[in-house]
Structure 1
Amino acid sequence: MDFLSNITIPLAAIASTLLLSILALKIFAGIGPEKKRKKRYHPVAGTLYHQILNFHRLHDYYTDLARKYKTFRLVGIDHNEVYITDPANVEYILKTNFHNYGKGSFHYNRLTDFFGDGIFAVDGAKWRHQRKVASYDFSTRILRVFSSTVFQSNAAKLAHKVSEYTNSNQAMDVQDLFMKSTMDTIFKVAFGIELNTLYGSSKEGNTFSKAFDDSSEVTLWRYVDVFWKMKRFLNIGTESELKRNTKVLDEYVYKLIRRKKEQISCQQNPMKKEDILSRFLELSKDDPKNMNDRYLRDIILNFIIAGKDTTAVTLSWFFYMLCKNPRVQEKVAQEVKVVMEANDKTPINEFATSLTEEAINKMNYLHAALTETLRLYPAVPVDGKFCHSDDTLPDGFDVRRGDTVAYVPYAMGRMKFLWGEDAEVFRPERWLDVNGTFQPESSFKFTAFQAGPRTCLGKEFAYRQMKIFAAVLLRFFTFKLSDENKHVKYRTMLTLHISEALQLLALPREI
C-alpha cells in the first residue's frame, strides 16, 4: 500500500503537469476556446520630436519611413500616430470601417479655430448635412454650366495676364497667379462675388488670401506643437498670429454674407440661384437657429480651401513638371491643338469659350498628366483620422482607441510596391491604355481625392477647371523655368504649396 501510494502521488502530479501543459499549449496556439490573441502594433519609427526636427520636409520624412516600414507608428505624449500606405488599410479606414475613423475631438480641436464646424473638421450630423447639400449642388446642371463659364472667363483673364509678362520678357510667380485666379473663381462659383484679385484691384481680397494661407500653416503646426493650447490661452507666438488672421477672415466673410443677403433680397428672379452660397442661404430660412451666420462662415472657408488651394497648388506643380519635362509639355500642347482644331488667328477669349465639356473630355493625355502630377504632388499630402475604438487593420496589426490613423498620399505616390520601379518618375503614359485612353486606378491606391463616403465631391469640378486653365495657357504659351538649377521645395501646410515663388518664363507658342 505504501509502495502504491508512493507511486500514485508522483504519477498524479506528472499527469496534472502534463494536462496543464497541454492546456497552456492550446491556449497559446489558439486551439482552445479561451484563446486571447496577443495585441500586435506597428513598428515604432520615431517620435513627436522627430516630426518637429523634420517639419520643413515632413512629407519626405514620412516617405523615408514608409519605404522602410510600409506602415509605422510615431509615438506622441498621449497617443500614437499610425501612418499607412497599404491600399487594403486605406480602404478599411475610409470605407469598410468608416464609422470608426473620423475627425474626433483630436482633429476637431486643432482645426476648429480655422475651419469652425465646416465639413473638413466635423463628423456626424453636421458633416452629413453639409455633404448632402454640397452633393446636390455639384450634381445640378445649372452649377456645372455656370462654373464652366466662370472657368473659361478666368482662364482667359489669366492668359492675358501671362501675355503682359511675355511682352515685357519678365519672369512671373505662376503659383501666385494661380492662387489669385482660383480665388477669384471659387468666389464667383461658390458665392457669386467678383473678387478680381488677379489684377490686384482688391486690396481687401489680397489681405484675406494671405491671412488664409498663414492660418493654414499655423493650423498644421498645431499637430507637432505640444504647447499650442497653452500658447492659445496666453495668446502668444503662433497662436496669437492665428487669432489675428482668423479675425481678418471672419470680418471679410461676414461682410460677404451680408452683401449676399442684400443681393438676394434685391434679385428680380429669386428662383435663379447659380452659386452655392445662395443655396445655403435659402436653407437657412427654414433653419435659422442652426444655419446661422457663424455656420455659414465655416462652410464658406471650407469651400475656399477645397476650391482655391487644391486646384492652384496642383496647377503650380503641373506646370513645374511640364518645365522639367519639355517632351510632356509639347505632347499636351499638341493634343489641345488637335482636339480643338484651332488656328493661330483664334483670339484667347474665343478659344477659351470653345473649351466645352465635350472637348476637354477628349484630352486624355492632359488628364493623364494632371493625374500624374497629383500622384507625385497631391494637394492634400497627408490625411489623418481618429480611431474611436480599438481595432485591427487588414495587415493584422492593432490600433488603440485614441490613436490617429493617417494615410499619406504624398508617400504613397512614391512607393515602388504600388507604382513599380519608376514610381518617382513623372510619366503620364502610366495612366493610358494602348489606345491612349485614360485608365483610372483604385481610389484606395491613388488617394488624391480621398475615397469611400468622404470621396471629394468636387473631383470632376476640379479636373474641369484645371483642364480648361491648362488648355488655354498651353495653346498660347510655352513655359520654362527662369532658373533651371533652382531646387523647388514645398511649404509644410495643410495643402502642398510650393515654398517661396515658382518663377517661370512664358514664350509665345509657335503653332
Structure 2
Amino acid sequence: MVAMVLYAAIIVPVLCSLYMFHRRRCCKHPLLRDYPILGMLPTVLFNLWRLHDFFTEGLIKHGGSGDLKGPWFTNMNYFVTCDSRNVQHMLCKNFDNYVKGHDFREIFEPFGDGFIAADYETWKYIRTLLHSLMNQPRFKAFIDQTVQKKILTSLLPMFDHAQQLGRMVNLQDVFLRFTFDNICLTTVGHDPKCLSIDFPVVAVEKAFRMSDKSIFYRHTVPNSVWKLQKWLQIGQEKKMTEASKTIDEFIYSFITSKRKELRKCTKEEMKEVPLDLLSLWMTEEGGCEHNDKFIRDFAFNFIVAGRGSMASTLTWFFWLVIKHPLVEAKILEEIKDHFKTNEKKNDEYGHGFDDLKQSVSGEVLGMEEVKKLVYLHGALCEALRLFPPIPIERKQAVKVDILPSGHRVNGNTMIMFSLYAMGRCEETWGKDCLEFKPERWISEKGEIVKVASYKFIAFNAGPRSCLGKDLALLQMKMVAASMLWSYRFQMAEGHVASPSHSFGLSMKNGLKVRIMKRDL
C-alpha cells in the first residue's frame, strides 16, 4: 500500500508536468491566464459581467490575437482575433479555407441548411436565389410600404398611448416586437401583431427568444453536456425542443397554405400573388420544386437575421442618442431640412391612409426620402461599430494556414472574430475610437464615407457579406426618423447599459424610457 502511494506521488506530478509542457507548446499565444485542469475558464467567469470589454482589453494587450483554452479534455479551444488583416485574409482572400463547419451546424441546429449555417454548394445556391429575389424592385417597394404602414398603425399609436398614460416603455422590447412583426410580414406575409398597446404574449415570438437563449447556452458548455440534456430532454434543451416545435408549426402552416393557393392560380393570377419572400420564392422558376424542409430553413434563417439585428442596433442607437443631445439636435435639423410630405401614400394605401395619419402624431419618411439623411446614416453606423448586433463570429479552418499576423492555424482550428473589439481598435478608428462621432462617417463634401467591410464588419465581409445591408439601414433610418421627429425620450433614472449574456448583443434589463411629445 505504501509502495503504491509513493508510486502515485512520483508518477502523478510527472504526468501533470508533461501535460502542462504539452499544453504550453500547443498554446503559444495565451490570451488569458491558463489554470491547471480548468484552463482559462476561471478568468472568463470572473469577468463574465463585462465579457466583451474584457476580451477587447486582452486582445489589444496581445497585439490583436491569441489562444483561448477551455477546461482540459473539452473541445472548447479557440483562436481569437480582432486584427483586420486576419479578418480580411480569412473572409476575403482565403475564403474557401474558412467555413462554418460541422460544430457550428450542430450548435445552430434550428437553422438547418439555411444561408446562416450552410457551407459550400448549398450556401452558394441559396445565396444566388436570395440575391435574385431581394433585388426585385417590387419586393423593395413592398418592404418600403410595409415598414411605413407598420410605423403608422402600430409604433406611433403605441408611443402615443404610453405618453398619454405617462408610462415608462422598454424600447428594446418595443423594437423586438416591431422587427418581429415586420420580418414576418416580409417573409411569410403574416402580421403576428406582437406590437400593440397591450404588449401581448405571442407564442411564436416567445419561441424565437427562447431559441436565441438556447443557442447561447450551447456556446457556454461542452458539447457533451448540452447533447446529454437534449437526449434526456431536460433543462435548456427541453425548452429548445419546445420552442423549435412552436416555430416549425408556425412556418410550415404558411408553407402548406401558400402551396395550396399557388396550385389554384393561373399564370395571370400568379402576377398578383403577395410580395412576401415565401411567395416570391415559390413562384420563382423551380421554386415549387423545393421541399418543405428547404423552404422552412430559408424562412427561419431570414426571420432570425432580420429580427434581432435591427432591434439590437436601434436599442443601442437610441441609448447613444439620448446620451448625446448634440447628435440628436443635428439629426432633427437634418430631418427638418429634408422633410417632405409624401402625397403618394394615399394612393398606395387607399383613402383611409389620410384618416390614419390624422389619428396619430407623427410623419413617416419613405426609403427614397431617408436616403438623403446622411448624418442619421452616420449615427447608425457608429452604433453598429460600437455595438455590433452579433459581437462574435466563428469559423473553422479546413487546412493549415499562416495568418498575416504571423499566427499559424491548423486544420479544424476553431476561430472567433471579436467584432466588438474590432470597433474599438485605434489602428482602424483612431485615438477617439471609443467616442460616438457620426461625423467620422461623413466626408468634407457631405457624402457617406465608405469603409472596407473587413474593418467595419457589422454586416460581415467577403462573399458572405449581408445581402440585406442597404435595406436594413434604410428601414432603421425610417424608424429612427419617425420616432425622433415626434417624441423626446428620457432614460429611466439610474439606468446602466450593459450587454446581456446572449447570442446577440442585446441590452441587459432593456432600455427603459419616458416618452414626451416633441414641440418643433
Same fold (TM over 0.5): yes
Residues 313 and 384, structure 2, Cα contact 8 Å, conserved in 1: yes
Q: Is contact 1:48–1:224 with CA below 8 Å preserved after alignment?
A: no
Deviations 1:461-494 (A, max 9, x none): 10110011111111111112022x2112222222
- Give the SS at the match of 2:406: coil
Select the residue among 79, 94, 103 that pairs with 1:97.
94
Are residues 1:118 and 2:111 paired?
no
Greater Cα shift, 251-260 or 207-216: 251-260
| Structure exhibiting the larger radius of gyration computed from Cα positions | 1
Question: Could you tell me how far 1:171 is from its partner in structure 2?
Answer: 1.0
Paired letter, 2:142: F
Contact 1:153 1:352 in 2 (8 A): no
Residue in structure 2 matched with residue 74 of structure 1 by the alignment: 68
Identity %: 30
Residue in 2 aligned with 1:84? 81
Task: Deviation per CA, 1:87-116: give whole Å up to 9, x if none.
Answer: 11101110111011111111111111x211
Q: Label 1:41 to 1:260 Cα distance change in 2 as closer, same or farther (>3 A).
A: farther
Could you tell me which amino acid in structure 2 is paired with residue 413 of structure 1? Answer: G
Q: Is the CA contact 2:213–2:503 (under 8 Å) kept in the aligned structure 1?
A: yes
Q: For residues 277 and 201 of structure 1, do their structure 2 counterparts lie closer, same or farther at Cα, with a shift above 3 Å needed?
A: farther
Partner of 1:276: 277
User: Counterpart of 2:209?
Assistant: 213
Deviation readout 1:377-423 (Å, 9 max, x if unpaired): 11111110011111110111101111111211111112222222221
Question: 2:438 aligned with 1:425, yes or no?
Answer: no
Distance 2:288 2:302 in 1: 21
Where 1:395 maps in the other structure, the secondary structure is coil
Q: CA deviation at 1:263?
A: 4.0
Match of 2:55 among 48, 57, 62: 62
On the 8 A contact 1:155/1:352 being kept in 2, the answer is no
Contact 1:351–1:472 (8 Å) recurs in 2: yes
Tell me which amino acid in the other structure corresponds to 2:429. W
Asked whether 1:444 is paired with 2:437, we answer no
Higher alpha-carbon deviation: 471-480 or 71-80: 71-80
May I ask how many residue pairs the two structures share in their alignment?
467
Q: Structure 2: which 5+ runs fail to align?
A: 1-24, 34-38, 343-353
Q: Residue in 2 aligned with 1:8? A: none
C-alpha distance in structure 1 between counterparts of 2:264 and 2:288, whole Å: 22
Q: CA deviation at 1:324?
A: 1.1
Partner of 1:168: 165
Compared CA separation, residues 48 and 216, structure 1 to 2 (3 A): farther
User: CA shift at 1:264, angstroms?
Assistant: 3.4
2:412, 2:514 → 1: CA distance? 49
Q: Closer, same or farther in 2 for the Cα pair 1:141/1:81, shift >3 Å?
A: same
Letter matched to residue 236 of structure 2: T
Q: 1:167 to 1:428 in 2, by over 3 A?
A: same
**Matched residue, 2:302:** 303
Mapped to 2, the partners of 1:367 and 1:466 lie a distance apart of: 9
Partners of 2:476 and 2:287 lie apart in 1 by 36
Mapped to 1, the partners of 2:178 and 2:239 lie a distance apart of 26
The one-letter code sitting in structure 2 at the alignment partner of 1:216 is D
CA gap of 1:55–1:292, structure 2 versus 1, over 3 A, is farther
Please tell me whether the aligned partners of residues 41 and 397 of structure 1 are also in contact (alpha carbons under 8 angstroms).
no
* Paired residues of 1:57 and 1:492 also in contact (CA < 8 A): no
Tell me the alpha carbon deviations over residues 62-103 of structure 1, each in whole angstroms, 9 at most, x when there is no partner: 212112111111013336311111111101110111011111
Q: Which has the higher contact order (CA 8 A, sep 6+)?
A: 1
TM-fit CA distance, 1:326: 1.5
Q: Distance in 1 between matches of 2:261 and 2:175?
A: 28
TM-score by length of 2: 0.84
Partner of residue 508, structure 2: 499
Partner of 1:199: 196
2:383 matched to which residue of 1?
373
Q: Secondary structure at the match of 1:158?
A: helix
Aligned to 1:242, which of 231, 240, 243? 240
Q: Alignment partner of 1:187: what SS?
A: helix
Aligned to 1:148: 144
Q: CA deviation at 1:252?
A: 1.6
In structure 1, the residue matched to 2:134 is 138
Structure-2 separation of matches of 1:325 and 1:266: 56
Call closer, same or farther: CA 1:486–1:282 in 2, change over 3 Å. Answer: same
CA contact (8 A) 1:42 1:398 kept: no
- Residues 202-234 of structure 1, C-alpha deviation per residue, up to 9 Å, x if partnerless? 96x722112111211221221220122222222
Contact 1:138 1:144 in 2 (8 A): yes
Q: Is the 8 A contact 1:284 1:292 kept in 2?
A: no
Contact 2:156 2:360 in 1 (8 A): no
Which letter maps to 2:75?
D
Q: Which residue of 2 aligns with 1:294?
A: 293
